[in-house]
Amino acid sequence: MILINLISLSLLYYLKKSSGAREFPEHLHRYFKYGMIAAGVLIALGIVHAPPEILFELLSFVLVGAVVYLMLNTPELSYLKTLAITPLPIIGVRLLEYVIKTLSPAIFDIVENYLDAAGVFAFIWAVTMWLNHRKQMKEIEIERIITKEQERQLRTTEEQKNQLETLVAERTKEILSQKEELQYALDHLRSTQEQLIQQEKLASLGQLTAGIAHEIKNPLNFVNNFSELSVDFLQEISEEMPKIPDSPEKENILDLLENVKSNLGKIRHHGSRADSIVRSMLMHSRGGSGTMDPTDLNALIREYSNLAFHGMRANPNPINVDIQLSLDETLPKVKLNAEDFSRVILNLLKNAFDAMRDKLATAGSDYKARVEVRTQDLGDKVLVEVEDNGPGVPDHIKDKLLMPFFTTKKGTEGTGLGLSITHDIVNSHEGTLEISTEEGKFTRFTILLPKR
């Protein structure tokens, strides 16, 4: 009877041990534990032959039956089928022995030898099955290791793949940002190239202009000089004329001489007009000889607005102008070509004076000519404004103001280059020149210079 319980115990022990490798549900563990306790108790009872022996024997069979049943009918333990059926013949023989012994000891004596023989076969069967089971277990174990290894490799591959993907993403991002940088550099290069071409064109145009201006200057000098001389000679002639006795012919000659004198005066006048255009053109095309130095813009404005005013007063048709300077005293020094920029101030003020002179001629006596020059520190830029309360600029010519040779000045007064030169100079300082105006009220030139 101890054998049956030992079978129960060893089966349960085996189950419990193999539960380390596989995860069994909690209730199975409980079964194993209680089963082992029960088997232990039954073994102890079997050793001491405690009565009623027959009941304990029966319980032993029930226990081993339950264990085998559990092993065959639990899905988690299905892989142990071979093991479960290993002890079955032994148990069967023992059960038969037990039943026969219990029911009729007489028959037992007769069949004892057969039963012993059956027991031997059952044992052989058990050994065979046990070996079978071992083999199966080994195969399962190898399979399990292989699967595990495969899983491990799969995981490693997955990890490597992920790493590679991250790497690729990083590189792609790098390349993209480099591409963007390159694109930016390329665009910048292109626009610089365009600017260079434009500047080159302008420079060659400037050289051409300078060459033409010089070539024109020489014949123009002759025109001016000879007309001046002729006027002088005519003066001498008219001084000599009274010495000739009067006659109708003399009358005619004097009349014609007067006309010639007036014509020569006109030639001289238009000649000097052409001369001032040529000189402006030469200034226009003069290469940037001046240097950009930090300059006190307020001082420059004070000096040149004063100069412009007195220059205007010294010339024909002076007017009374109230010049207001609203200068930002906190203005830092600005990098300027002082020589060029002084021309900007002179030109803008001259322009304002001329405009206001026109208005003074037409407007009533209430009108007081006034021009205001402002500076202001705008942080990264510097503002320079020249505002007059002259006649303003009609819309349809506003766009033309900065064009070379455009002038509104009547007849022969302007060269049409003043504002164009001003615009060029502001541009060469990388600044902007804007005009805002209201007809009959004001004209305001706004210059914004970068501080750098």
Partner 1 sequence: MKILVVDDERDVEDLFRQKFRKEIRNEGLELLFAFSGKEALEILEKNRPPQVATVFSDINMPGMSGLEMLGIIKDRFPKLQVSMISAYGDADNYQKAMNSGAKGFFAKPVDFDSLKKEIRDISKS
Which residues would be at the binding site for partner 1 (CB under 8 A)?
A: 214, 217-218, 221-222, 224-226, 229, 233, 275
**Reduced to 3 states, what is the DSSP secondary structure of residue 345?**
helix
CA distance 41 to 50: 11
Q: Shortest gap between Cβ of 183 and partner 1 (angstroms)? A: 46
Q: Shortest gap between Cβ of 224 and partner 1 (angstroms)? A: 7
Q: Shortest gap between Cβ of 230 and partner 1 (angstroms)? A: 9
Residues shown for the chain: 452
CA distance 423 to 414: 16
Q: Shortest gap between Cβ of 214 and partner 1 (angstroms)? A: 6
Q: State which H helix or E strand residue 425 sits in.
A: helix 418-428
User: Looking at beta carbons only, is 223 or 363 nearer to partner 1?
Assistant: 223
Q: Shortest gap between Cβ of 225 and partner 1 (angstroms)? A: 5
User: Looking at beta carbons only, is 271 or 418 nearer to partner 1?
Assistant: 271
User: Looking at beta carbons only, is 140 or 208 nearer to partner 1?
Assistant: 208
User: Looking at beta carbons only, is 133 or 268 nearer to partner 1?
Assistant: 268
User: Looking at beta carbons only, is 5 or 227 nearer to partner 1?
Assistant: 227
Q: Shortest gap between Cβ of 279 and partner 1 (angstroms)? A: 11
Among the listed residues 344, 345, 332, 343, the one whose alpha carbon sits nearest the alpha carbon of residue 294: 332
CA distance 132 to 148: 24
CA distance 44 to 268: 150
DSSP 190-232: HHHHHHHHHHHHHHHHHHHHHHHHHHHHHHHHHHHHHHHHHHH
User: Looking at beta carbons only, is 228 or 303 nearer to partner 1?
Assistant: 228
CA distance 155 to 415: 86
CA distance 28 to 413: 118
